[in-house]
Structure 1
Amino acid sequence: MTFDGAAMMIIIFLINIVYVTFLTMRTILTLKGYRYIAAAVSVMEVLIYIIGLGLVLDNLDEIQNLIAYALGFGSGVIVGMKIEEKLALGYIMVSVIALDRSELSPKKLREKGYGVTDWTANGLDGDRQAMQILTPRKYELKLYQLIKELDPKAFIISYEPKTIHGGFWVKNIKKGKLSR
């Protein structure tokens, strides 16, 4: 393989990482409802895709270019996912069931700025404290850590809400009053 061949492989590999990173980000942005940003990202995505695919199609007899394309594609998925993890777009709803007498209380969570709705629930072994906690995804891991510190045996389930409307927490987000 010549220097030109190796350079072509590296270029195809890097172009595909960039392309698939844009593809992954566009998909996530679309799912999260950022349609105009997703549309702008898709313009860049298509331009990069056409350039990369053109390089591969012009050199179909070079198997290493196909391999570089495939490896770049897989790497781009990972890079796109890592970027999305860092951006942590959206919100998370966490359902927690704690022992009724645990250190984990709605008051402690509210003091940290979390929106909490709580009620008493009945479990197999007696009363439990049930809570719904809403937080931006960027605070998700801190919330899990706090819950586990206060009640290591707490039962936790989380999901991403599609729509949020009304309530105390939404008002505080708009006023910038959340503190972590």
Structure 2
Amino acid sequence: MGFTFIGIIIGINILYVSFFTLRMLMVIKGYRLLASLLAMVEVFVYLKGLELVLDNLDNPINLAAYCIGWGMGVFVGSKIEEYLALGYVTVQVVVDSLEMELPGKLREHGFGVTSWVAEGRDGPRLMMQVLTKRSNEQKLWKLVTSMAPKAFIVSFEPKNLKGGFWVKRLR
């Protein structure tokens, strides 16, 4: 059995927990059908891995391999989801100058921007709200910070979208 068997246990758990992590994130983001299909594969991999460990409980190294694979699976699953960048993000930008051409520049780069003047602690601020695909979030952050290095930026994931030009483009 040896190292090959331990490698198989670790590999199966990396695969299983990666599927588990992706499935949970897909459920949270509303991809229910895809999550259901992934769950079928996930449970098959889980049962095969569990069978291997339960049939060989006499060796504590097998149990340790199972635990190591579990931890590595969480990491791998989260990296895969980060790479896929499923869903959308809302980025709120606050700049301390009302003279900024930032909304127009962001629109030139294809971002939808809603902007307004807000009152901050030290006076008027330009507020912007931008909805974009998560895969474009880093591009947006870099663009904003290159043009307004002191901008205050917050991003969050919207759960539901209704109305606006973005929703029309999504369909």
Correspondence 1:99-178 to 2 at 5 A = 99-101=96-98, 103=100, 105-174=102-171
Q: What SS does structure 2 have at the residue aligned with 1:61?
A: coil
CA distance in structure 1 between the partners assigned to 2:18 and 2:95 by the alignment: 40
8 A contact 2:98–2:117 mirrored in 1: no
Q: What SS does structure 1 have at the residue aligned with 2:155?
A: strand
Q: Which amino acid aligns with 1:42?
A: A
CA distance in structure 1 between the partners assigned to 2:41 and 2:98 by the alignment: 54
Distance 1:104 1:56, change over 3 A: farther
Residues 35-89 of structure 1 show CA distances to partners (whole Å, capped at 9, x for unaligned) of: 1110010001000000001100101011110111000000001110111011000
Matched, 1:94 2:82: no
Residues 135-169 of structure 1 show CA distances to partners (whole Å, capped at 9, x for unaligned) of: 00000011111111011110111100000111012
* Shift, 1:113, TM fit: 1.0
CA distance in structure 1 between the partners assigned to 2:99 and 2:74 by the alignment: 41
TM-score (norm 1): 0.91
Aligned to 1:177: none
Aligned to 2:59: 62
Distance 1:17 1:102, change over 3 A: farther
Listed as ranges, the gaps of 5+ residues in structure 1 are 175-180
Aligned length: 171
Listed as ranges, the gaps of 5+ residues in structure 2 are none
CA distance in structure 1 between the partners assigned to 2:101 and 2:93 by the alignment: 10
8 A contact 1:102–1:150 mirrored in 2: no
Aligned to 1:27: 24
Q: CA RMSD, aligned part only? A: 1.2
TM-score (norm 2): 0.96
Question: 47, 50, 64: which one pairs with 1:50?
Answer: 47
Residues 82-133 of structure 1 show CA distances to partners (whole Å, capped at 9, x for unaligned) of: 1101100000001111022464521111111111111001122221100111
